[in-house]
Chains A and B, each alone.
Chain A
Amino acid sequence: DTEVTQTPKHLVMGMTNKKSLKCEQHMGHRAMYWYKQKAKKPPELMFVYSYEKLSINESVPSRFSPECPNSSLLNLHLHALQPEDSALYLCASSQDPDTETQYFGPGTRLLVL
């Protein structure tokens, strides 16, 4: 199984809503990542989890809150988002923090109204 799955595929939310994005992998990978991708732009790193601990936060606003409940799951909790937060949110994983090859999920396309 070399798949990273993400749910939901699409999400529409208002600026006062609270929602969560979910990511799952069963490859035994110990590093997981959240990226944000705007249309026609490259992915931008948001967070890195290594062995279920947050190791990198790329100065992401606090309205984005990551969580890693276990080695297979990664969540991104969303609260009080702005319309400019509308984007494709990608999850990725790698075998461990020192193995660089990352495998991406299909993404969640988020629209904030």
Chain B
Amino acid sequence: GESVGLHLPTLSVQEGDNSIINCAYSNSASDYFIWYKQESGKGPQFIIDIRSNMDKRQGQRVTVLLNKTVKHLSLQIAATQPGDSAVYFCAENWAGNQFYFGTGTSLTVIP
């Protein structure tokens, strides 16, 4: 399943499928990006980050892709599990330690 961020803030996927969550960031000067996962009643949890000198970074079951030309960031989750159900935020940084969060996408995994 795939979301388009601001235009589709919810995403439902079948357990075991791959998920793609998209984010259109705002500032072409942004040089550092983080994906956060926020479960209900909890604070945001760091998932993966990427700097602007890279276009891809992989973690455990997650991959972040950065396309600076169109100011687009995506988070790919492989073999989505029920525990992946949460709201996912992208955050961009262009001014020291100030982060600006995107709208968020709510991911629901169907068992």
B interface, over-half SS: strand
Q: From residue B43, how far is it (CB to closest CB) to chain A in Å?
A: 4
Do residues B98 and A103 form an inter-chain contact, with CB atoms below 8 A? no
Range class of the B interface residue count: 20 to 34
Do residues A100 and B104 form an inter-chain contact, with CB atoms below 8 A? no
Q: Which residues of A have CB within 8 Å of B43?
A: 4, 6, 90, 92, 104-107
- Which B residues, 75 to 111, have Cβ-Cβ distances below 8 Å to chain A? 89, 93, 96-104
Range class of the A interface residue count: 20 to 34
Q: Write the A41-70 contact mask toward B (1 if CB under 8 angstroms, else 0).
A: 111110010100000100000000000000
Selected contact of A101 from candidates B46, B89, B100, CB within 8 Å: B46
Selected contact of A42 from candidates B45, B46, B98, B102, CB within 8 Å: B102
Selected contact of B99 from candidates A40, A98, A102, CB within 8 Å: A102
Do residues A43 and B49 form an inter-chain contact, with CB atoms below 8 A? no
Q: Which residues of B have CB within 8 Å of A92?
A: 43
Closest to A31 in B: B97
Closest to B49 in A: A101
Do residues B44 and A101 form an inter-chain contact, with CB atoms below 8 A? no
Closest to B36 in A: A104
Contacts known (A100-B93, A101-B34); A107 close to B99, Cβ less than 8 A: no
Closest to A50 in B: B97
Contacts known (A100-B32, A106-B42, A106-B43); A42 close to B89, Cβ less than 8 A: yes
Q: Which residues of A have CB within 8 Å of B97?
A: 31, 33, 48, 50, 94, 97-100, 102
